[in-house]
Amino acid sequence: MKNVYLIGVGLIGGSMLLDLRAHYPEAVFYGIDHNDDHLDQAISCGVVDHKATMEDLINADLVIVSIPVDATVNLLSQVLDNINDDSLVMDVGSTKEAICASVANHKNRRQYLATHPIAGTEFSGPQAAIKDLYKGKTMIVCEVEKTAFAQQELGKGLLEKLGMRVRYMTPAAHDKHIAYVSHLSHISSFMLGKTVIQEEANERDIFDLAGSGFESTVRLAKSSPAMWTPIFAQNKEHVIAGLDGYIDNLVSFRESLKNDNHTAIYNEMAQTNRIKTILKGIQNGK
């Protein structure tokens, strides 16, 4: 691995490059971004070594596309147009159906690996990049059968070095499941934050009275709207289905409370406590 190119020098791609540096000390890391200030920050943070352009991708061994999903749909074909015969291109978008469809018939489709790391923080930009973000986390890989064997092996080696588990899915299955466990969580966090801001006119009261439960629940509301709006738009069908079920549960809880049906409230919470067992199994690697 000699030349690694990152398109979009933010948290997700930047964190990946920080870890890959330790495994490929001889490699040179390049950044491509429409925001020149971000590129300067990425260089000063040690995420990349040099600025680059799309035309430079002919020299790439690896290209990581880490930009909003709507931009990925528009740019991925151009990336595949510019690479050499041995390059591997990976994207890290939170949706997969639209992105995979955008290059389904591209002549270099077999050099593309569709991936989505289940990792991140609520922060964004080059300065948010951190080491070991991916260690022990899951990487979703879609349509692996459409990627050439040599590029599959290169991608597999990269993920092993990052310490990631691999889960294979179709793009459709990915987008359906991720709508519930990721996209709905972000919407819930944003809307809870909005509700509290609307109802609590005194910001000091929010600051003084908010406990760790509130803080952890609205953590995702700090996330970038520029990144999440296209995600919700691309995964509209599954997100709406998730919202319908979530709203039904909220209405049911509201009616139980309104009617003093405390037994129903208790039973719903008790049944939902099973999430502790599910998440404990995930944390233990099961």
Is 174-283 the same fold as 3-169?
no
Assess whether pLDDT exceeds 60 at residue 283. Answer: no
pLDDT at 208: 64
pLDDT at 282: 53
pLDDT digits 0-9 by tens, 167-192: 999 999 999 999 998 999 999 999 98
pLDDT at 199: 75
Assess whether pLDDT exceeds 90 at residue 150. Answer: yes
Angle at 184 between CA 182 and CA 286, to 5 degrees: 40
pLDDT digits 0-9 by tens, 116-131: 999 988 888 999 999 9
pLDDT digits 0-9 by tens, 72-111: 999 999 999 999 999 999 999 999 999 999 999 999 999 9
The DSSP-derived string for 225-240 is HHHHHHHHHHTHHHHH
pLDDT digits 0-9 by tens, 186-238: 999 999 889 888 877 666 666 666 666 777 788 888 889 999 999 999 999 99
Lowest mean pLDDT among 118-122, 139-143, 265-269: 118-122
What fold does the segment set 174-283 form as a domain? 6-phosphogluconate dehydrogenase C-terminal fold (1.10.3660)
Average pLDDT score over residue span 228-252: 96
pLDDT category, 285, cuts 50, 70, 90?
A: low
Q: How far is CA 190 from the centre of its chain?
A: 17
CATH of domain 3-169: 3.40.50.720
pLDDT at 280: 73
Average pLDDT score over residue span 30-48: 96
pLDDT digits 0-9 by tens, 56-71: 999 999 999 999 999 9
pTM score > 0.85 for this model? yes
Domain boundaries, the chain: 3-169, 174-283
Assess whether pLDDT exceeds 60 at residue 284. Answer: no
